[in-house]
Amino acid sequence: MGDLPDPKGFDTHQTHLTDRIRQQPQKPSYDLDAIHNSFTAAKTDIEPEKFHNILTELIKPQLFGSYDRRELCKRRLGYSTKYQSLTISLLDGDEVKAVAIRKAGDVKWKTYGIKSYIPYQIKDEFVFFYSGMAEIILMEALNLSFIGLQSDSVLHHLPEELKELCRDKVVVILQDNDKSFKSMVPKIRKFFEHSDTIIIDFENLLDRKLPHGYDFRDFCNEIVEPKNILELLENEIMTGGTNDI
The amino acid occupying position 174 is L
The pLDDT of residue 179: 96
Q: Half-sphere exposure of residue 211, counting CA atoms within 13 Å on the CB side?
A: 5
The pLDDT of residue 27: 60
The pLDDT of residue 15: 39
Q: Dump pLDDT digits (tens) for 152-166.
A: 999 999 999 999 999
**pTM exceeds 0.85, yes or no:** yes
The pLDDT of residue 175: 98
With a cut of 50, which residues of the chain have pLDDT below it? 1-5, 13-19, 21-22
Question: Which residues are within 8 A (CB) of 85 and not within 5 positions of it... i.e. 6 or more apart?
Answer: 54, 79, 101, 102, 103, 104
Beta-ladder partners of 10: none
CATH number of 118-245: 3.40.1360
CB atoms within 10 A of CB 90: 23
- Report the distance separating Cα 242 and Cα 230, nearest Å: 17
Strand (E) or helix (H) holding 99: strand 95-104
Q: For residue 14, report the phi and psi dihedrals to the nearest 5 degrees.
A: -80, 160
Domain boundaries along the sequence of the chain: 25-114, 118-245
Is residue 121 a contact partner of residue 26, using CB atoms and an 8 Å limit?
A: no
- Report the distance separating Cα 19 and Cα 39, nearest Å: 29
